[in-house]
A = this chain, B = another copy of it.
């Protein structure tokens, strides 16, 4: 699902701070929170917040016209730089506190849909003000400014801060959510092992940055491919953040599977529940029709065409992205963004009784007999507190077990490919086939 190219120089080293920032005063609050012991003090940077006007275009603040308690952050400019005391205004005093949401690949098409959903209140609710922290690359930086301009022009009341940057150590500062969408797309002739290595380096770096500067309970959703193993690399590089907080996005697969079952059964998609995607976000993934339900009944009782379930269903789910590119000429940015919204909402809203949702999560301690220490998509339930537990009442048959074994074997092989990035020694890569989903990069 990766859309945004991150320049290779990005992963290996971090550029020096831009000259125009070096003379600015260091915000003592941010300096205090900076946990990077490896960097000399002079290299500590303050987040760079950019909007669309330069400081000399802003008239001196009209203090008589601003609400009581207003403070102006001097190190930034633009409409998102004026911070209000939300408690002081009638309209906003009942709002929750501001939360920081970091998004990588922020200039790509998936983000172009997602950011506006986040800003609208559709995801976190109408009383949750948000700060968007957008991570881009050297190449995408101008585009990021464009994104920030469109966010300004949208006048979303809940969107109180937008900052853009190229350094994850700045952008992830105090992030309570990190939506990691950016990844390098596969170049011509590049093998999956090469892709794993290049993107793995990006996610290792981002894991370290999260570990150093993000909220101690940050929730991380990895979208950039190969997302399961990227998520594993990321969590291994962030030992101070609970491994349980890392997710690999398999929600679009779940949504597509629900839609295909609904189409086959001739019912509306809201009648399909308990849809599990097991394993990797790749062609070895297992959309599970054994446990899924339609109108509360087992799918296998509603759809009696077993041949279709075994031979066509999974293929239909997986080919969806490819068919879409063929018809639409673009990848499924809009529905991917919708599925990220669904994934977040599933963690902040109690799961309906008896139902569950799929997410690629850390497998250690799972009750299904799946290998430990990989990121594996499994059925989850949440109380709506951002956390989850694995679903009970899941059944298996030989057919399901056999397919789960295959995707498990693939994830274990991917793990061996990136051992150098997870601190587990030398990598040994023997991926036998290309299992990238059609329509993805």
Which single member of B113, B259, B271, B297 contacts A153 (CB below 8 Å)?
B259
Question: Which of A166-174, A278-286, A331-339, A423-431 touches B?
Answer: A331-339
B265 and A62 form a contact (CB under 8 A): yes
- Inside 8 A of A21's CB, which chain B residues have their CB? none
Question: Known interface pairs A155-B258, A266-B58. Does A324 touch B150 (Cβ–Cβ under 8 Å)?
Answer: yes
What is the bound-complex CA distance between A91 and B273, given in angstroms? 15
What is the bound-complex CA distance between A143 and B328, given in angstroms? 4
A79 and B262 form a contact (CB under 8 A): yes
A116 and B155 form a contact (CB under 8 A): no
A82 and B264 form a contact (CB under 8 A): no
A294 at interface, CB cutoff 8 A:
yes
A53 at interface, CB cutoff 8 A:
yes
A82 and B267 form a contact (CB under 8 A): yes
A79 and B269 form a contact (CB under 8 A): yes
A60 and B328 form a contact (CB under 8 A): no
Which single member of B66, B147, B156, B327 contacts A142 (CB below 8 Å)?
B327
- Inside 8 A of A320's CB, which chain B residues have their CB? 149, 153
Distance (Å) between the CB of A92 and the closest chain B CB?
9
Which single member of B112, B120, B256, B270 contacts A157 (CB below 8 Å)?
B270
* CB proximity to B under 8 Å, residues A56-84: 57-62, 65-66, 72, 78-79, 82, 84
Contact size class for A?
A: 35 or more
A255 at interface, CB cutoff 8 A:
yes
Distance (Å) between the CB of A299 and the closest chain B CB?
10
A387 at interface, CB cutoff 8 A:
no
- A 386-415 binary contact with B (CB < 8 Å = 1; else 0): 000000000000000000000000000000
Interface of A is mostly: helix
A269 and B152 form a contact (CB under 8 A): yes
Which single member of B153, B295, B342 contacts A335 (CB below 8 Å)?
B153
- Inside 8 A of A326's CB, which chain B residues have their CB? 142
Distance (Å) between the CB of A152 and the closest chain B CB?
5
A266 and B61 form a contact (CB under 8 A): yes
- Inside 8 A of A263's CB, which chain B residues have their CB? 51-53, 57-58, 78-79, 152
A255 and B335 form a contact (CB under 8 A): no
Which single member of B120, B323, B339 contacts A52 (CB below 8 Å)?
B323
Distance (Å) between the CB of A326 and the closest chain B CB?
8
B149 and A294 form a contact (CB under 8 A): no
A295 and B65 form a contact (CB under 8 A): yes
What is the bound-complex CA distance between A153 and B258, given in angstroms? 8
- A 157-178 binary contact with B (CB < 8 Å = 1; else 0): 1001000000000000000000
Interface on A for B, CB 8 Å cutoff?
51-53, 57-62, 65-66, 72, 78-79, 82, 84, 91, 107, 112-113, 116-117, 120, 122, 142-143, 145-147, 149-157, 160, 252, 255-256, 258-259, 262-271, 294-295, 297, 302-305, 308, 320, 323-324, 326-330, 332, 334-335, 337-339, 342
> Top 4 A-B pairs ranked by shortest CB distance?
A146-B328, A146-B327, A61-B266, A150-B335
